[in-house]
Amino acid sequence: MTTEQAEPKTIPSKRKRKYRNVRVEYDGIKFDSKRECAHYQDLKVLEAAGKISQLRVHPKDFQITINNKRICRYEPDFIFYDEEQGRFRIQDVKGVITELFKLKKKLVEATYDIEVEIVK
């Protein structure tokens, strides 16, 4: 067994990306940027070391509903359990923080009483 990991595979895009991110695929998972993929690799190292567990990529758990009307869905980049802090953590890798993201972040934090961490 080798300790070397395969390099992320670039996913070709038919259009120019607005924020110049390059989509990649790694471990069978598609990431919106190389930065997001690199953070995933860091989290996998922490998971192997036993510092975090239950790592999930792009979970679709966060529905924002007000008065029984679905407003939106928030899909963070990562959610995992931090063994040292004894709590779940949500992380979103962002190069550019848009107004839409700011709104969804506030809605999720208010609805689910959990902090969304921004990774730059």
Domain residue limits at 35: 9-119
Residue 78 inside a domain? The answer is yes
Tens digits of residue pLDDT in 56-90: 999 998 999 999 999 999 999 999 999 999 999 99
Cα separation, 18 vs 51, in Å, equals 35
Residue 19 inside a domain? The answer is yes
> What is the pLDDT, as a whole number, of residue 14?
62
Q: How confident is the model at residue 8 (pLDDT cuts 50, 70, 90)?
A: confident
Tens digits of residue pLDDT in 103-116: 999 999 999 999 99
Residue 4 inside a domain? The answer is no
- The DSSP annotation for the chain comes to --SPPPPPEEPP-SS--TT----EEETTEEESSHHHHHHHHHHHHHHHTTSEEEEEES---EEEEETTEEEEEE--SEEEEETTTTEEEEEEE-SS--HHHHHHHHHHHHHH--PEEEE-
Q: Which amino acid appears at position 94 of this protein?
A: K
Q: What is the CATH number of the domain that holds 64?
A: 3.40.1350
